Amino acid sequence: MPGVDALLGAVPALERAVGEVAARLGRVTVHVRADGRSAGAGVVWLRDGLIVTNAHVAAGPGADVELPDGRELPARVIARDPRRDLAVLAIATSDLESALRADARGLRPGELLVALGHPFGVSYAAALGVVHRAPSAMRGPAGWLHADIRLAPGNSGGPLADSSGRVVGINAMIVSGLGVAVPTHVVERFVREALSDRGRGGGARAA
Amino acid sequence: MSASSTDGLLSAVSNDLAAAVDTVGRSVVAIHARRRIPASGIVWQPGVVVAAHHTIQRDDDITVGLHDGTSVAATLAGRDPSTDLAVLRLAEGASAPPVAPATEPPRVGQLVLALGRPGGSVTASLGIVSALGGEWRTWQGGTIDRFVRLDLAVYDGFSGGPLVAAAGRVIGVNTSGLARATAVTVPASTVTRVVGQLLARGYVARGWLGIATQPVRLPPALQRSLGSEAETGLVVVNVEPDSPADRGAVQIGDILLALDGRPVSDPGDVLAALGGERIGQTIGLRVARGGRAESLSVTVGERPRARG
């Protein structure tokens, strides 16, 4: 049966490929804990301790971040925007591996996506799906990246990545069964704003 | 580590899926014929769009959004509630390429995409064909050539959109209007047949006898006197005045045993024997009347349209 032989080659290779993307994401994905319990996930955005997560995950002035290597560090919320559902956390460390990124506006419907997070408290669980609708010009969440992928509470703040493992969005909500992620270009702008505010001492506003 | 080779594989699969969406997506249109969000449709032939009947909530003032962002007027050519299909004709000059229907039958486990255009941009979901079956009959009496069950998430506005094989061929039209709580795919062969009839006539003609029946168990004594081994027949509970059955002398209380020599034990068996091609033909009815078997002949009529 030639069909079976073909499967034996292609499917394990595909499974390895998904596993490698998940492993790559696992090295840049953190746990974010608030009040001692797991609130969601986060993504290492800059190697010197800058973490991006959802505003609804980091709801208070501080949080704890557990790194993939198991270290748990206190984090300071240096910027927070409920409208974009984003927060930037700072932890006192450096030499972290940071996430590779790609612009979600270049995605086409049907492209494969991999999400990593802690759905229902299961640490570092991966999900496979496709682009349902690429980000559009619509304002707010309606214009964000919509994914046909199975997410759950605990995926919030975690990465949504393309088939090369580059982060294209931060998973933020589930709407009518669709995963909705803040696209990377919105995150980049938010992080730039947060860093320039911090330069002017504006971080106190969020605290 | 062989990261680069497997990384390439995942990207290759991803590109194939996106290419299938891009190719077929040019034929997927938005149907504006109801309130709230638009539904989806497919350019099936040049200038002809297939949509889901249940999403066409008005017969006039229908507009269709094409892949290039233009919007064109469309007229309703006809609808067939029994297969939940409707056909629209696009205003002249609308340029949208028709889809290529699949030539191979679907397989269980096959990767498939459901596309829609509930607005300006095309949307996609990925899943697999989870089960297949033979011909089946919808609750409104429509014949669907093949049962296709999906493991695939469908979202608002997908009805009327295509089920696409990863290679870019269209397996059928998806709709939520034929089954409760699940999506159903009407296979391309059924769509093509219904489109042909709707374009020719504006509706799908069905055969009609004019009787209402319900199953009844045949007591052993009756079975013996009829010389029949069938345990169930269909008791005639209504005969419409001046219907083909009335003209053929069918009476209330007759127990229908066979149509055209084929035993019947479910009202669906009667519907199944009354396709549009039977209109005008004379068929034989075997009935039990007063404990004895009788043969009647009835000329099949056309089902009145107001009956749906």
ipTM: 0.86
Residue in chain B lying closest to A176 (CA): B155
Burial class (CB in 10 A: 0-12, 13-18, 19+), A56: middle
pLDDT for res B286 = 94
pLDDT for res B307 = 44
pLDDT for res B275 = 80
pLDDT for res B1 = 38
- Give yes or no for a contact between B89 and B46, defined as CB atoms under 8 angstroms apart: no
For residue A133, list chain B residues with Cβ-Cβ distance below 8 A: 121-123
Angle between helices A2-26 and B3-25 in degrees, nearest 10: 100
pLDDT band at B215; cut points 50, 70, 90 = very high
Average of pLDDT values for B101-126? 94
pLDDT band at A5; cut points 50, 70, 90 = low
Q: Which residue has the tokens 């959004």?
A: B65
Burial class (CB in 10 A: 0-12, 13-18, 19+), B305: exposed
The CA distance from B176 to B178, in Å, is: 6
Here the tokens at position B59 are 């017969």
Quote helix, strand, coil % in chain A, to nearest 5. Answer: 25, 40, 35
The CA distance from A159 to A182, in Å, is: 10
The pLDDT of residue A201 is above 60? no
pLDDT for res B269 = 86
Q: Is A148 in a helix, a strand, or coil? A: strand
pLDDT band at B167; cut points 50, 70, 90 = confident
Give pLDDT tens digits for B216-232.
999 888 888 888 778 89
Give pLDDT tens digits for B255-288.
999 999 889 998 888 888 888 888 999 999 999 9
Nearest alpha-carbon partner for B213 in B255, B246, B243, B249: B255
pLDDT for res A37 = 77
For residue A162, list chain B residues with Cβ-Cβ distance below 8 A: 14
Q: Which of A85-89, B38-42, B45-49, B91-95 has the lowest mean pLDDT?
A: B91-95
Give pLDDT tens digits for A14-45.
889 999 999 999 999 999 998 877 789 999 99
pLDDT for res A207 = 36
The pLDDT of residue A199 is above 70? no
DSSP-H helix ranges across chain B: 3-25, 188-201, 220-226, 244-247, 267-272
pLDDT for res A50 = 97
The answer to whether the Cβ–Cβ distance between A133 and B17 falls below 8 Å is no
Average of pLDDT values for B58-71? 94
The answer to whether the Cβ–Cβ distance between A148 and B121 falls below 8 Å is no
Here the tokens at position B202 are 């504006």
User: CB-CB: which of B9, B20, B115 is closest to A17?
Assistant: B9
The CA distance from A102 to A193, in Å, is: 19
The mean predicted confidence, pLDDT, of chain B is 91
